[in-house]
Structure 1
């Protein structure tokens, strides 16, 4: 029997980009942002403007040193028993991130084969049974069933199934078996 497929975003879903952005932003600009202070804000509003944000995201080693989201490794290992997992990242927006993301996945998720890593621009081409992502711009075009992973910038969006963490994501997906 063919396994169902899941496409899983990296930043904000597997990798804790929120903590890293806050730390880099506060260090670079002498700010005092916290996770609580940016809840419900867009990325551009939370971090000043798009140019400032892009400057942080284009720094060497930014993506290579992202913390792993709690329970992500164990969750993917468990999901792999019943699903084929693809890691999908719109990485071409930040070309410096391409090699860093591959190295990061190799370190933290060595059980994900290279064939199941998709670094792309638009995720509209992704055709899996499920897509777990933190951005509606990707979920709105999902060909399968979208699952929104909670992030500061999407807390006020309610038009997709939402999970707050990896334990909830596993429960939602296992309920479909």
Structure 2
């Protein structure tokens, strides 16, 4: 019998990218600070300093290897999910960040094998039974295609959460039980 496939995003789902990018932005551009609570869009139109750009905000060398875990439960719950399901990490990545993301994953979740690590921005191209993600640009097409989703709430997906009834997961504690329940429904 085939195991269900759980597609899990990396950035701001199992680790904190935007908060770390904001940290560096506020050091590099102290006259134009950003706040996580003000990040209502996933694009980088919010960058206030004229010398900043999408490439600077998300392209700092080493950024993806220094990200903090989402919470204290994420590693244990991901390991439980990996034992019960076919877990694939599906992450949007520039060529320069793929190795950093793989290194981060191997440092924190070495039980995820290379063949279950996919760099892909258009996650709708991947076959999965459940998507765990923070990006409305991934969650909405999945939901509209009849797939199951779990949304990690952040300011940038607030508008989509108001429009769509995504199941939410604010922390990773008991994530496996939550996934079991969603897949059983």
- With normalisation by structure 2, the TM-score equals 0.83
Aligned partners of 2:54 and 2:125: how far apart in 1?
A: 26
SS at match of 2:13: coil
Q: 1:140-171 deviations in whole A, cap 9, x for unaligned?
A: 22252122111221133221222212126434
State the shift of 1:112 in Å.
Answer: 0.3
Q: Give the equivalent residue in structure 2 for 1:164.
A: 170
Q: Which residue of 1 aligns with 2:158?
A: 155
In structure 2, the residue matched to 1:73 is: 75
Cα root mean square deviation, aligned: 2.2
Establish whether residue 53 from structure 1 lines up as the match of residue 54 from structure 2: yes
Whole-angstrom CA distance in 2 between matches of 1:81 and 1:131: 17
- Find the aligned partners of 1:105 and 1:99 in 2 and give their Cα distance: 10
User: 1:130 Cα deviation (Å)?
Assistant: 0.4
Contact 2:65 2:100 in 1 (8 A): yes
Q: What are structure 1's unaligned runs of at least 5 residues?
A: none
Q: CA deviation at 1:67?
A: 1.0
Contact persistence 1:56–1:62 (CA under 8 A): no
Distance in 2, Cα, partners of 1:49 & 1:114: 38
Tell whether the 8 Å contact from 2:21 to 2:57 is kept in structure 1 after alignment.
yes
The aligned runs of 1:29-44 (5 Å cut-off) are: 29-30=29-30, 31-36=32-37, 38=38, 41-43=40-42, 44=44
List gaps (5 residues or longer) in structure 2. Answer: none
How many angstroms does 1:58 deviate by? 1.3
| Structure 1 ranges of 4+ moved more than 4 A | none
Which range moved further: 24-33 or 166-175?
Answer: 166-175
